Amino acid sequence: MKLVMKFGGTGINSGTKMSYVANLIKNHRLNTHDDIVVVVSAVRGVTDMILSISDSVRKGDKASIERFITDIRTIHMNIIRKSLKDENLKNMARRILSNLVRELRDILEGMVLLAEVTPKSLDYLLSFGERLSTPILCMALQQIGLKSRYLTGMDVGILTDSNFGEAHPLMNTTRLRITHMIEPLLKEGIIPVVTGYIARDQNGSITTLGRGGSDYTATIIASSINADEVWLWSDVNGLMTADPRIIKDAKVLTEVSFAEAIELALFGAKYIHPRTLEPVMSTKIPIRIRNTFNVEHSGTLIIECPSTASQKTVKSISAIRHTALIDVSGEEMVGAPGTAAKIFEVLARSRINIMMISQSPSESSISMVVRKGDLDRAITALELNLLGKTIKKLNVNEDVAVIAVVGSGMRGIKGIAARVFSSVSNEDVNVIMIAQGSSELNLAFVVKDDDCYKAVKALHDEFKLGKVGVSS
């Protein structure tokens, strides 16, 4: 098989774990003789540290830079010391670390003078997380006798547009470049070890694929080399029937379709990036989500057509907490072509992602759900551009949760909505807003954030998701 394995930050955040992952790869290689491409995330917590220091840079806080540099160096030096015993490899890793940290310090010291962080410069900063972690795993593989080569997402050939922070790959060019780079290495028995998350635009500037974009990197590469499967290794056994922090008896889903996985990703399944499936859907390359620390568990398989046994009416109850609901209304919106386009264009210019939309049949109001962190910018944009003109009123509910009932088996089945809302109503939960697409893959609604737990539990019990159709 030709296999792409991606490892998340929790699997490599210590020297012991780094060695464990290297041996996991070696054992699979020895047992199967598969061709393997490895994609690596930043060490857990490092991306958040970089985002935090970028805020300090905006405030002109020079003192925090040296503390940050010391912490970054210490984290990675400890991993090198505990994972690499070969002195030559250890010294090589230290040189790479020192050069990257020096570059990072120079950039931060230049940026702090301007007290400004642009989307372009932030992508440059964020790239260091993966650039620091990936060469260590590459050398850990070399230490145990595997031929491997370290490559950045730029080196491997991922070319994107210049939408910094959420770049989109230019897939035709990217496929050609990746094939040209990766295939010769695989033929020589070399394991490419590639930085996740980062790429390059046509001007040579570093871009990122969005938070959690290492999954996306893995499927971009898989699509380009026509891999047989993609394995996304994380710290969970797979996609779940509900968030286990809310539902204690939540179970692992054995199989889901591409369409179901997209819905789950969009509605809060944090272990898969929403755009991860785009590159592999046309090629039908399966994705498997597995637990790095529980290799005996087969995980969740994401394929085009799951088996009949796994096609249950409802598969999962997802929840996105701490979101906000914006309701805009006005008589002039009724029958006026382009009203919705104006509203969405204003929000798009402010880079506000609208998670869910509902419009009244009278066309006099539109309700939108946004992330709470985007609320202030969204309100400001609407007030400055449209209030008193296209829209007359703007109401906000600051703390709501989106609940999504997901399952391809709901298609064409009568009475699902009745069961959903009856079970929620029995727990005295008020539904504020409802939306369902014509695909009938999901039924989403909004409740007060305080009612989230009750709603999810009621639905999980109603469809008996803790008992049937899943693996333990």
Q: Which domains are assigned to the chain?
A: 2-235 (3.40.1160.10), 316-462 (3.30.2130.10)
**pLDDT (tens digit, 9 = 90+) per residue, 121-139?**
999 999 999 999 999 999 9
**pLDDT (tens digit, 9 = 90+) per residue, 15-35?**
999 999 999 999 999 999 999
Q: Percentage of the chain surpassing pLDDT 70?
A: 96
Q: Is residue 292 very low, low, confident or very high in pLDDT (cuts 50, 70, 90)?
A: very high
Q: How far is CA 190 from CA 33, 35, 150, 152, in A?
A: 12, 8, 10, 16
What is the average per-residue pLDDT within 430-444? 83
Residue 277 has pLDDT above 60, yes or no: yes
**Torsion angles phi and psi, residue 271, rounded to 5:** -90, 10
CA distance 399 to 436: 21
pLDDT at 457: 95
Least confident of 13-22, 163-172, 181-190, 272-281: 272-281
Rounded to two decimals, what is the model's pTM?
0.89
Q: Is residue 469 very low, low, confident or very high in pLDDT (cuts 50, 70, 90)?
A: very low
Closest by CA position to 398, among listed 450, 320, 319, 323: 323
pLDDT at 326: 94
pLDDT at 1: 92
Residue 274 has pLDDT above 80, yes or no: no
Burial of residue 94 (CB within 10 Å: 0-12, 13-18, 19+) is middle
Residue 44 has pLDDT above 90, yes or no: yes
Q: Which residue has the tokens 């199989």?
A: 255
Alpha carbon 91 to chain centroid distance? 34
**pLDDT (tens digit, 9 = 90+) per residue, 329-338?**
887 777 777 8
Q: How far is CA 135 from CA 38, 139, 215, 403, in A?
A: 11, 6, 18, 41
Q: Mutual orientation of helices 15-32 and 63-83 as an angle, nearest 10°?
A: 40
Are 333 and 365 in contact, with CB atoms under 8 Å apart? yes
CA distance 20 to 44: 16
Retrieve residue 208's tokens.
Answer: 């990122």
Are 433 and 358 in contact, with CB atoms under 8 Å apart? yes
pLDDT at 438: 61
Q: Percentage of the chain surpassing pLDDT 90?
A: 71
**pLDDT (tens digit, 9 = 90+) per residue, 57-91?**
998 888 999 999 999 999 999 999 999 999 999 99
Least confident of 36-40, 296-300, 306-310, 457-461: 306-310
pLDDT at 439: 65
Burial of residue 428 (CB within 10 Å: 0-12, 13-18, 19+) is exposed
**pLDDT (tens digit, 9 = 90+) per residue, 206-261?**
999 988 899 999 999 999 999 999 999 998 899 989 988 889 889 999 999 998 88
Q: Which residue has the tokens 């440059």?
A: 124
**Backbone region of residue 251 per phi and psi (left: phi > 0; alpha: psi in -120 to 50; beta: other values):** beta
**Straight-line distance from the first to the last Cα atom of the chain, in angstroms, rounded to the nearest whole number:** 28
CA distance 336 to 285: 44
CA angle, residues 230, 234, 240, in degrees to nearest 5: 90
Are 78 and 19 in contact, with CB atoms under 8 Å apart? no
Sign of the alpha-carbon torsion through 195, 158, 111, 95:
positive
pLDDT at 468: 52
Q: How far is CA 285 from CA 105, 145, 212, 219, 221, in A?
A: 41, 30, 20, 9, 11
